[in-house]
Amino acid sequence: MLDLVVTGGVAVMPAGAEAADIGVAAGRIVAIGAPGSLRAIGAARVIDATGQIVMPGGVDPHIHCSSPIPFPGRNDDLLSAPPEQVSRAALYGGTTTLLDFAPCPSDQPLRQSIELRQREWAGACCCDYGFHLLLHSNPSQGVLGALPEAIQDGHASVKMFTTDIRPNRQGRMVQFGDIWEVLKILAAAGGIAAIHAEDNDIVMHMYEKLIREDRVGFENMAEVHNTLSEDLSFNRVIRLAENVEGAALYMVHVSAATGVAAIAASRAHGYPIYGETLHQYLLYTAEDYKRPGGQMFHTYPSLKFAKDQEALWAATHHGAIQAIATDEVCCPLQVKLQGRRIDDTTGGNSGVEPRLSLMYTHMVTKRGYSLADFVGLTSANAARIMGLYPRKGALAIGSDADIVLLDPRAGRVLRKGDLHETDYTPWEGHEVAAWPSMTILRGKVVVDNGTFLASPSDGQFLPRKIGDDIRARPAL
């Protein structure tokens, strides 16, 4: 007997969407059958998904929980919302897997950095999770030497910044020589590099220039974190990777047409390079900075312009962009609005909960993407690139039973009071054409028609191994 049967819905499977029953036992998908066929076998619980889309749980490959939110002149340790709060919102919105970061300072043994993060998350996350290793400036030989073992242990992606992002914030930028060394290590050990690429010279030059010209309002952010910077830095890091046999790149939060073009050119030559963008960048532009509370729409590098947005959208259609993330840095509105300048505005955003429904609306309803493409961009592709597939991101036999019932009859207008992230949402007033009626995590119903049934002990750490196909060529 099965634990669970989901029957009557349109299931989005790797081969496409069709009416099917999904059977679950011991937390995994164990049977997929014709409509009604599994119901007949019997199950402890039968879930009627008639009229609904049945899809794998969302995968958000880029979030920051319990992460410092710096503000000039203030020395307290203000942190973004913890995993419990963010994972709860994620499950409400149909996302069952989150990838965060383990900060890896140069003066601390790598193993210790990872253990600290593991301890922070164990028993504190309602959904499943993993970590990218986040290298700091000047990684020590000790940290570099310990990377292969960490990759073997399932921390298979390493994040690096090519910029300090803000003038008052040193310690993030990894020099190109060090990035080169890390790419060689990753290539040999089977990892992938996740890069936040901006040209530090251009960015810092623009900070100085705008401060000199007394144009420091954050609405000028796209002049600082600009499209030329994305062009220069993307091409530079891509050229570096192209010269390391076996190096694979995942470019985080692509924001500009120049970034899209750089990735596309390298992929056209057969290099394994993948692009991530944010729903923020797909649906807002730098014009939105001028609205009241416009900081709400900001996340670094910056919102760009209509033609960048068009290029990003075009790239989601089997082009240079494979995954839609949030870059979640969940905080109260007062914190999000505390900075007003180009050099003090809080980055990241609150958006993990409505991500799936917003993307369904804008991809499937408004642009006619197939359900399979929508699931690819919000779940399956990130799972594949980050080494979680087919355990995550697939309705397939043997996969974890992370299943979302997305209800196209439950469209609504997004209101902060209905969401579970924080006291504001950058998506206030947006209409979505569907909303999850149920979220299932490894066979356990964790959200049932608005009732939350998960606990922080439900989340499991996910060791990851990047697929050889992902690292050999642009496999997606």
CA distance 90 to 352: 5
Kindly tell me which of 199 and 327 has the beta carbon lying closer to Zn ion. 327
H helix and E strand count, the chain: 16, 21
Kindly tell me which of 54 and 160 has the beta carbon lying closer to Zn ion. 160
Which range binds Zn ion by CB under 5 A, 23-31, 109-117, 269-277, 326-334? 326-334
CB of 121 to Zn ion, least distance (A): 17
Within 10 angstroms of residue 307's Cβ, the number of other Cβ atoms is 12
CA distance 159 to 281: 20
Which range binds Zn ion by CB under 5 A, 47-55, 120-128, 278-286, 324-332? 324-332
CB of 62 to Zn ion, least distance (A): 6
CA distance 384 to 391: 10
Q: Identify the CA nearest to 352 among candidates 99, 123, 133, 67.
A: 99
Kindly tell me which of 327 and 353 has the beta carbon lying closer to Zn ion. 327
Query: Contact letters (x/-) for Zn ion, 268-307, by CB under 5 A?
Result: ----------------------------------------
CB of 135 to Zn ion, least distance (A): 14
Give residues 404-443 in contact with Zn ion (rule: CB under 5 A): none
CB of 419 to Zn ion, least distance (A): 21
Which range binds Zn ion by CB under 5 A, 213-221, 255-263, 303-311, 320-328? 320-328
CB of 160 to Zn ion, least distance (A): 12
CA distance 315 to 263: 10
CB of 80 to Zn ion, least distance (A): 10
CA distance 71 to 144: 30
Cβ pair 253, 277 in contact under 8 A: yes
Kindly tell me which of 252 and 260 has the beta carbon lying closer to Zn ion. 252
Cβ pair 258, 202 in contact under 8 A: no
CB of 101 to Zn ion, least distance (A): 8
CB of 201 to Zn ion, least distance (A): 21
Kindly tell me which of 302 and 439 has the beta carbon lying closer to Zn ion. 302
CA distance 122 to 456: 8
Instruction: Retrieve residue 74's tokens.
Output: 């203030």
CB of 132 to Zn ion, least distance (A): 10
Which range binds Zn ion by CB under 5 A, 152-160, 215-223, 319-327, 420-428? 319-327
Considering the rule CB under 5 A, would residue 327 count as an interface residue with Zn ion?
yes
* DSSP-assigned letters across all residues of 258-289: HHHHHHHHHHHTT--EEEEEEHHHHH--GGGG
Kindly tell me which of 271 and 300 has the beta carbon lying closer to Zn ion. 300
CA distance 357 to 354: 5
Residue nearest to Zn ion (CB): 327
CA distance 221 to 204: 12
Kindly tell me which of 327 and 402 has the beta carbon lying closer to Zn ion. 327
Query: Which amino acid is residue 374, in one-letter code?
Result: F
Kindly tell me which of 164 and 242 has the beta carbon lying closer to Zn ion. 164
Tell me the Ramachandran region of residue 407: left when phi exceeds 0, alpha when psi lies from -120 to 50, beta otherwise. Answer: beta
Kindly tell me which of 308 and 327 has the beta carbon lying closer to Zn ion. 327
Which range binds Zn ion by CB under 5 A, 143-151, 227-235, 322-330, 377-385? 322-330
CB of 194 to Zn ion, least distance (A): 9
Query: What is the number of residues in the chain?
Result: 476
Instruction: Retrieve residue 396's tokens.
Output: 């397939």
Which range binds Zn ion by CB under 5 A, 205-213, 283-291, 325-333, 362-370? 325-333
Q: Which residues, at least 6 apart from 122, have a Cβ–Cβ distance to it below 8 Å?
A: 461
What are the residues facing 405 on neighbouring strands? 54, 438
- Total residues in contact with Zn ion, by rule CB under 5 A: 1
CB of 182 to Zn ion, least distance (A): 18
Query: Which amino acid is residue 107, in one-letter code?
Result: D
Kindly tell me which of 70 and 217 has the beta carbon lying closer to Zn ion. 70
Kindly tell me which of 134 and 377 has the beta carbon lying closer to Zn ion. 134
Burial of 217 (0-12, 13-18, 19+ CB in 10 A): middle
Considering the rule CB under 5 A, would residue 343 count as an interface residue with Zn ion?
no
Considering the rule CB under 5 A, would residue 60 count as an interface residue with Zn ion?
no
Cβ pair 445, 437 in contact under 8 A: no
Binding residues for Zn ion (CB under 5 A): 327
